[in-house]
Amino acid sequence: MRILVLGGGAREHAIAWRLSRDEAGHRLRIAPGNGGTPAVAETVGDLDVLDPVAVARHASRERYDLVAIGPDAVVAAGVADALRQAGIPAFGPMRAAARLESSKAHAKEQMRRAGVPSAAASTFSDADAALAHLRALERPPVVKADWLAAGKGVVVAETHEQAADAVRSLLDGAAPGAALVLEERLEGREVSAFALVSDRVVVPLGAARDYKRLGDGDAGPNTGGMGAYAPVPWFGPREMEAATASVFEPIAWRMSRDGAPYRGVLYAGLMLTERGPMVLEFNARFGDPEAQVLMPLLDGDLAAAMLATTTGDRSAMDGALGLRGGAAAVGVVLASEGYPGDPLTGRALTGADPAGPDDAGPALCFHAGTRADGDGTATSGGRVVTFVGIGTDHTEARERAYAAIGQAELDGGQHRSDVGLEVAAG
Enumerate binding residues for ligand AMP (CB under 6 A). Answer: 119, 142, 144, 154, 156, 183-186, 190, 212, 269, 280-281
CB of 192 to ligand GLY, least distance (A): 7
Residues that bind ligand GLY (CB under 6 A): 210, 225, 283, 287-288, 290
288 binds, among ligand GLY, ligand AMP, none (CB under 5 to 8 A by kind): ligand GLY
283 binds, among ligand GLY, ligand AMP, none (CB under 5 to 8 A by kind): ligand GLY
Q: What DSSP state is assigned to residue 35?
A: S
383 binds, among ligand AMP, ligand GLY, none (CB under 5 to 8 A by kind): none
281 binds, among ligand GLY, ligand AMP, none (CB under 5 to 8 A by kind): ligand AMP
Residue 190 or 373: the one with the smaller Cβ distance to ligand AMP is 190
Residue 154 or 174: the one with the smaller Cβ distance to ligand AMP is 154
179: Cβ–Cβ under 8 A, 6 or more apart, which residues? Answer: 105, 123, 124, 125, 146
Task: Measure the CA–CA gap between 15 and 298, rounded to whole angstroms.
Answer: 11
Residue 57 or 212: the one with the smaller Cβ distance to ligand AMP is 212
CB of 111 to ligand AMP, least distance (A): 12
Q: Is 21 left (phi over 0), alpha (psi -120 to 50) or beta?
A: alpha
375: Cβ–Cβ under 8 A, 6 or more apart, which residues? Answer: none
Long-range Cβ contact pairs of 16-19 (< 8 A, separation 24 or more): 16/40, 16/41, 17/295, 17/355, 17/356, 17/357, 17/359, 17/364, 17/366, 18/295, 18/296, 18/298, 18/302, 19/68, 19/302, 19/303
CB of 154 to ligand AMP, least distance (A): 4
CB of 159 to ligand GLY, least distance (A): 26
Residue 283 or 309: the one with the smaller Cβ distance to ligand GLY is 283
287 binds, among ligand AMP, ligand GLY, none (CB under 5 to 8 A by kind): ligand GLY
For residue 292, the tally of other CB atoms under 10 A from its CB is 36
Task: Measure the CA–CA gap between 65 and 34, rounded to whole angstroms.
Answer: 23
CB of 358 to ligand GLY, least distance (A): 28
12 binds, among ligand AMP, ligand GLY, none (CB under 5 to 8 A by kind): none
225 binds, among ligand AMP, ligand GLY, none (CB under 5 to 8 A by kind): ligand GLY
Could you give the 3-state DSSP secondary structure of residue 347? coil
Residue 64 or 267: the one with the smaller Cβ distance to ligand GLY is 267
Task: Measure the CA–CA gap between 232 and 168, rounded to whole angstroms.
Answer: 38
47: Cβ–Cβ under 8 A, 6 or more apart, which residues? Answer: 31, 32, 54, 55, 58
CB of 224 to ligand AMP, least distance (A): 11
Residue 140 or 287: the one with the smaller Cβ distance to ligand GLY is 287
Residue 154 or 385: the one with the smaller Cβ distance to ligand AMP is 154
Q: Which residues of 223-242 are buried (b: 16+ CB within 10 A; e: fewer)?
A: bbbbbbbbbbeebeeebbee
CB of 173 to ligand AMP, least distance (A): 18
Residue 57 C-beta-side C-alpha neighbours within 13 Å: 9
Q: What DSSP state is assigned to residue 325?
A: T
Task: Measure the CA–CA gap between 143 and 154, rounded to whole angstroms.
Answer: 6
Looking at beta carbons, which residue is closest to ligand AMP?
281
Q: What DSSP state is assigned to residue 247?
A: I
290 binds, among ligand GLY, ligand AMP, none (CB under 5 to 8 A by kind): ligand GLY
- CB-count burial class (<10 Å; 0-12, 13-18, 19+) for 45: exposed
Give the residue from 202, 205, 173, 172 showing the smallest Cα distance to 191. 205
Residue 281 or 353: the one with the smaller Cβ distance to ligand AMP is 281
Task: Measure the CA–CA gap between 371 and 375, rounded to whole angstroms.
Answer: 11
CB of 141 to ligand GLY, least distance (A): 21
185 binds, among ligand GLY, ligand AMP, none (CB under 5 to 8 A by kind): ligand AMP
Residue 47 or 171: the one with the smaller Cβ distance to ligand AMP is 171
Residue 33 or 277: the one with the smaller Cβ distance to ligand AMP is 277
CB of 317 to ligand GLY, least distance (A): 23
Task: Measure the CA–CA gap between 55 and 53, rounded to whole angstroms.
Answer: 5
